[in-house]
Amino acid sequence: MILASEIIDVKSFPELTQQDISSASQVVTPFAIRTPIFNSTALSRVLNSQVILKAENLQTTGSFKVRGAINKLMNLGPRERERGVITVSSGNHGRAVAHIAGELGIRAVVCLSEAVPRGKVEAIEDLGAEVVRRGKTYDESVEEAYRIQSEGGLTMVHPFDDPLIIAGQGTIGLELLEDFPQVDTVIIPLSGGGLLSGIALALKTANPNIRVIGVSMDRGPAMVRSLEAGQVVEVVEEPTLADALAGGIGPNNQFTFRIVQELLDEAVLVSEDQIAQAMVYMLEHHHLVLEGGGAVGIAALLSKKVRRVGDQIAVILSGGNVDLPVLEGVINGHT
């Protein structure tokens, strides 16, 4: 699907500006790794373009989510800090919030559905957060989180639909601009759209010609189906290797749907086989462990599903938290 890519007026998001992302950068820097970028000679050869990879799978807590979590928690008032926070997550955001809350001495409650992989649940428990497992799907656990929040006076730390979270994830865009200023195309895993919104805002403010491509799995891609429908729609959540990308974008989505609608140039969907192949490819060629959700950008390139690839491509490797038995299955070809 190719979406309209017109001249973008980034000022049309008063709730979120480049300035907010620069401010987030100050807050994020002491807590997050400035993840490396490196040239992929293998992919560059396959695509006949320069392909560089930004390794957020090596980020603290194993995914980029720590960036948004820091920015949100550091901006809480003293009363909010004292009462604590609650969040709901497909796993990585919960882990990031648990980590930062631990660092700052803030109480954290994390709601997780039964679909969240074991390794992610255990990591969150180990970080000292209170885990509430409720609901079969992400969307069901969201309802539970809001119910608990309404009783307890906790502050909701939304996994994507919050300007502070989006600005935190957007710091990846600022780092890319500094480390790879010639970038003309960026490929970003897409679920709730916090990651894509932040990076797209940072990049397009600097250069509106940079193309932003979002990639989701073909099993239950809530944002892409909503973009096609022109309004938020619900999708059925299905088991997928890209568990980090599962779940809806929220019936009351305030920010990310509109921002993604405006800034996304192309959306790509990838299959389970393509995700598995991308994970194996990254192990073989770069000795990097990616979770399924972190590998969808590579899957989109390898499967030649991106219509306009560009000459200077950056791919965001968004996370590496995969359970070993799952990785073993992927390597052995049963997914």
Ligand X SMILES: *Cc1c(COP(=O)(O)O)cnc(C)c1O
Pairing of β 50-55 and β 312-317? parallel
Catalytic residue, from 191, 197, 216, 318: name it.
318
Residue 135 or 293: the one with the smaller Cβ distance to ligand X is: 293
35, 63, 226, 274: which one binds ligand X (CB under 6 A)? 63
Q: What is the DSSP string of 280-297?
A: HHHHHHH-----HHHHHH
Least CB distance from residue 115 to ligand X, whole Å? 14
Least CB distance from residue 121 to ligand X, whole Å? 14
Binding mask 188-207 for ligand X (x = CB under 6 A): -xxxxxxxx-----------
Least CB distance from residue 79 to ligand X, whole Å? 28
Residue 245 interacting with ligand X (CB under 6 A): yes
Catalytic residue flag (residue 150) = no
d(CA 124, CA 145): 16
Least CB distance from residue 93 to ligand X, whole Å? 6
Residues 6+ apart with CB under 8 A from 95: 61, 62, 63, 65, 89, 120, 123, 124, 127, 321
Going from the C-alpha of 255 to that of each of 12, 76, 78, 196, the distances in angstroms are: 12, 20, 26, 12
Q: What is the DSSP string of 4-15?
A: ------GGG-TT
Half-sphere exposure of 313 (CA within 13 A, CB side): 25
Residue 289 interacting with ligand X (CB under 6 A): no
Catalytic residue, from 54, 63, 65, 191: name it.
65
d(CA 313, CA 301): 10
Catalytic residue flag (residue 5) = no
Stretch that binds ligand X, among 170-178, 291-299, 302-310, 326-334 (CB under 6 A): 291-299
**CB atoms near residue 112 (< 10 Å):** 26
Residue 56 or 140: the one with the smaller Cβ distance to ligand X is: 56
Residue 163 interacting with ligand X (CB under 6 A): no
* The dihedral sign for the CA sequence 196, 92, 278, 220: negative
Tell me the site size for ligand X, rule CB under 6 A. 20
Annotated catalytic residues are 65, 318
Kindly list the residues in this chain that would bind ligand X in the complex (CB under 6 A): 63, 65, 92-93, 160, 189-196, 244-245, 291, 293-294, 318-319
